[in-house]
Structure 1
Amino acid sequence: MRLRNVKYAKELLESYPNTVIQNPKKWAGKWKEIFGNDNPIELEIGCGKGKFIYEKAQNNKEINFIGVEKFDSVIVRALEKVMIEPLENLKLLRFDALEISEVFKDNEIQNIYLNFSDPWPKKRQAKRRLTSPTFLNSYLKILKPNGRIYLKTDNYGLFEYSMMMLNENDNFVIEDIMLDMYKNLPEDNVQTEFEIRFRELDKPIFYIRARLKGE
């Protein structure tokens, strides 16, 4: 899918520094200061246009949420939602997920959401998948003990790969797997833009919930 350039994106994002946090690396280990409280922090990597993370923040005011997206022209759509109805418990960050261990320190994050991530289907692209060993090793550092990873995807290849990588990593325990999550939909499920589209096409949504082992 070709990314449409939004000409005003960079300027608009920089105009809302209280929501779109600039230079996120300097806040590593200090995200509670950004939110001004000790509430748990949950993270969506690849938040896209922000429907999921915005609704999670709306519905769970006692939890802080951070949406991460690489592209200005995408995350600006998430910001536009916040502009209509500001949420104090939601922040947006622009950076490449490869840098995640530089943006968050040990045990800062309660849960991580990976919603319809790029499957990078070619074998040589495997290291780019958000459940590759490199990424999982970053997650186990930033997650709190017993913190969780939630994955939703329409791509069976990514689903299968993610199961394998999590099973091979002794630090994680897979708690739940669904080949079609809409046959037993979690009560607190929040749909993403892609999820709505795939449901309209009657495509199954694959689901994994994994937990980082406690201390």
Structure 2
Amino acid sequence: MRLRNKPWAQKLVQEHPEAILNQPDPEKKIDWKSRFDDFSKPLAIEIGSGKGQFITTLAKNHPEMNFIGIELQTTAAGMILRTKLEEGIDNLQLMCADAANIAMFLPENSADIIYLNFSDPWPKTRHEKRRLTYKSFLREYQTVLKDDGHLEFKTDNQGLFEYSLVSMNNYGMKFDFLSLDLHHNKSEIAQNNVETEYEHKFAAKGNPIYCLHASFK
């Protein structure tokens, strides 16, 4: 969902290059070690961070980890950046960029978890290649994730969930967790769930939240 343009967000992004990479050149290597106090900590990446409720909550709750939030919209990235700065979240870096190039922005085998939360479903068949669970994106994730890393995916869109199951299965991924109604699931994973803004809104309307965890090994 595209947000209304907020001029302050663009200005904030430009003023804080130490906290956010704004449309980085995929041909230039990013020195991630210089952007974190300790880049050896486990790394989690969220692709499509929206307004940032999910990624900022996780980063605050898990100081023993590093987090990278990737968001294409500058306005949304600016909102996350404002929260990061106001709350002093030092273990979170942001990047305003297209996730289609994620393997060019990050070292191979560097991430422990990749989160895909409420991605645009791109329902038209001609837009299949834009879906974040299309095989070309899965290839990028596989490159970035460690051998024992995994992908966590949530959506309220049944069609996208079904498509993603097929796409990941065809790619040879292994499913470690599946739920057709996460908020009524009794598992430990469900009990420890951190909601996104959209998730809270959709669940309040009674919509089921679909969830899966999958790995490449």
TM-score (normalised: structure 1): 0.93
Determine if contact 1:24/1:93 at 8 Å carries over to the other structure. Answer: no
Q: CA deviation at 1:154?
A: 0.3
Q: Give me the whole-angstrom Cα distance separating, in 2, the residues matched to 1:200 and 1:140.
A: 34
Report the equivalent of 2:142: 140
Q: What's the CA shift for 1:69?
A: 0.4
Contact 1:182 1:205 in 2 (8 A): yes
- Aligned position for 2:15: 15
Question: Partners in 2 of 1:41 and 1:2 — Cα distance?
Answer: 28
Q: Give matches, 1:27-38, under 5 Å.
A: 27-28=29-30, 30-37=31-38, 38=40
Q: Distance in 2 between matches of 1:8 and 1:61?
A: 29
1:208 alignment partner, SS class: strand
What residue ranges of structure 2 are gaps of 5+ in the alignment? none
What is the aligned residue count?
211
Cα displacement (A) at 1:106: 1.1
Please state whether the residue corresponding to 1:8 is helix, strand or coil.
helix
2:212 is the counterpart of 1:208: yes
Q: Which residue of 2 aligns with 1:79?
A: 81
CA RMSD, Structure 1 to Structure 2 (Å): 1.4
Distance apart, 1:105 and its partner CA: 2.4
The sequence identity of aligned pairs, in percent, is 40
Answer whether contact 2:101 2:140 (CA < 8 A) is retained.
no
Secondary structure in 2 aligned to 1:162?
A: helix
**What is the deviation of 1:197?**
0.2
> 2-side partners of 1:140 and 1:192: how far apart?
24
TM-score calculated relative to the size of structure 2: 0.92
CA contact (8 A) 2:2 2:73 kept: no
